[in-house]
Amino acid sequence: MLLFIVLVPLLYVIFNLIYARLTYYNPSDIEVIYESQTAIDTLDVSNFTVGTWNIGYSGLGAQTDFFYDGGKMVRPAEDYVKSCFDSISIFLKNDTSDIWLLQEVDSMSRRSYELPQANLLSKLKDSFFAFFALNYNVKFIPQPWLEPMGNVKSGLLTLSAFKPYKSVRHQLPGAFGFPKQLYFLRRCLLVNYYKLQNAKDFIVVNIHNSAYDDSGKLKKQEMDYLKSFLKKEFDKGNYVICGGDWNQCPPNWAYNVLAKGKEGDYFQTNVEAKFMNGWNWIFDPNVATNRKNDKPYSDKTFTTIIDFFLLSPNIKTMDCQGVDLNFAFSDHQPVKINIELIK
C-alpha cells in the first residue's frame, strides 16, 4: 500500500512530463500566416484608429479570481464564460476602429469550454480581415493537481478593416527553465504589413510579453528582439505601431499611481526609458487597463496600466482613450488610439 501511494503520483508526474515534452509546441522563428499572391493593394488613407485588448479568454471577468495569481478559481462556470465572450463580441462588433489587436484569444481550450473564440471573432464583421498566431499550445496542463487546466490553445488575433499584403508570426526568444517551459506560452509578435501609396509600409505589431517573469530575464530578451525589429523597419522609412499587453508599465510611470487606497499590490516593472529614443509611448493615464486577480473585482481592487502603444516618430497621435468597462468581461480593459501618418 505504501509503495502504491508513492508510485502512483510519481508515475503520474513522469508520464505528464514525457507527454508534455513529446507534444511541446516548437514553432519556427518566422512563420508567414498570409501573403498576397496577387497585385498588392495600396492604402490611400493616412488616419487610423487602432485598439488593443487582452480579452482574457473571456474567463477572467469581474466575478472571477485566478489560482495562479493567488486566487482559487481555475475556470468559472460555462455560462459565465460564454456570457463574457458574447459581451466582448458585441463591444467589438459595434466599435468603429480600423484595427484591433487582441490577446489571449482561445481556440478550443478547456478553460473556455472549447469555445472557438478566434474563429468566431474573425467572423464578427464581413468587411474585416483576421489573422491569428498561436502563442500558447499545450496539450495538457496538470495544475492544479486536483483540477487540471487541461489543454490550452490560445494566441494573438489581429482584426483589420484593411487587407495587408503580408501577416507574419515572429517567435520571441527566451523560455522558462525545465519543466516550467513545457507548460507556458511561446511568446511571439503578430505583424501585419500594409503597402502605402508612397511605396512605404505601414506596419502594425500585436504583442503580448511574458508574465510571471520575476527576474525580468525573459522580458529583456523579448524587448531586445522587438527593438531590433522596430529599428530595422523604421530605418527603411516605414511607419510602425506596436500595441498590446506588455506586462510592464510605460516608461517613467508609477505602477501604483491609480491604486492609492486600494487593497493589495502587485509590482510591475517599467519599460526602459531609453528603449527607443525618439519614439512615442502612448497610453491613457486616467484609465487602468489591468487588475489584480487574487479576488473578484471591486472598487478596492489594485489596478495599473500595462496595455498601451509604441509609435515610430513619423506617426502623430490624435487621441488616446482607455475604455472603462469596470473589468466586467476581462481582467484587462481596451485602449484605443487615433493616429495620423506624417507625410
Domain-by-domain residue ranges, the chain?
Answer: 2-341
Instruction: Quickly count: other Cβ atoms within 10 Å of residue 83's Cβ.
Output: 16
- Residue 4's pLDDT band (boundaries 50, 70, 90)? low
Instruction: List pLDDT tens digits, range 299-311.
Output: 999 999 999 999 9
Instruction: Quickly count: other Cβ atoms within 10 Å of residue 91's Cβ.
Output: 17
- Is pLDDT of 60 > 90? yes
- Is pLDDT of 3 > 80? no
216 Rama sector, left if φ>0, alpha if ψ -120 to 50, beta otherwise: left
Mean pLDDT for 306-335 is 98
> CA-to-CA distance for 154 and 143, rounded, in angstroms?
17
Structure-block grid coordinates of residue 88 = 466582448
What's the pTM?
0.96
Of the chain, the percentage scoring pLDDT greater than 70 comes to 99
H-run or E-run covering 226: helix 217-235
- Is pLDDT of 77 > 70? yes
- Is pLDDT of 261 > 70? no
> CA-to-CA distance for 333 and 326, rounded, in angstroms?
8
> CA-to-CA distance for 1 and 111, rounded, in angstroms?
35
Window from 28-37, 39-48, 221-230, 293-302 with minimum mean pLDDT: 39-48
Class of CATH domain 2-341: alpha beta
| Contact in structure between 173 and 186 (CB atoms under 8 Å) | no
Q: How high is the pLDDT of residue 2?
A: 75
Q: How high is the pLDDT of residue 10?
A: 84
Degrees to nearest 5, angle at CA 224 with 200 and 207: 65
H-run or E-run covering 212: none
Mean pLDDT for 80-105 is 98
- Residue 159's pLDDT band (boundaries 50, 70, 90)? very high
> CA-to-CA distance for 113 and 91, rounded, in angstroms?
21
Q: How high is the pLDDT of residue 179?
A: 93
Contacts of residue 247, Cβ cutoff 8 Å, sequence gap at least 6? 208, 209, 210, 211, 213, 219, 268, 306
Mean pLDDT for 236-265 is 91
> CA-to-CA distance for 31 and 223, rounded, in angstroms?
19
Window from 96-105, 209-218, 312-321 with minimum mean pLDDT: 209-218
Q: How high is the pLDDT of residue 20?
A: 95
- Is pLDDT of 8 > 80? no
Mean pLDDT for 77-105 is 98
Q: How high is the pLDDT of residue 330?
A: 98
Window from 35-39, 148-152, 268-272 with minimum mean pLDDT: 35-39
- Residue 262's pLDDT band (boundaries 50, 70, 90)? confident
> CA-to-CA distance for 81 and 87, rounded, in angstroms?
10
| Contact in structure between 283 and 250 (CB atoms under 8 Å) | yes
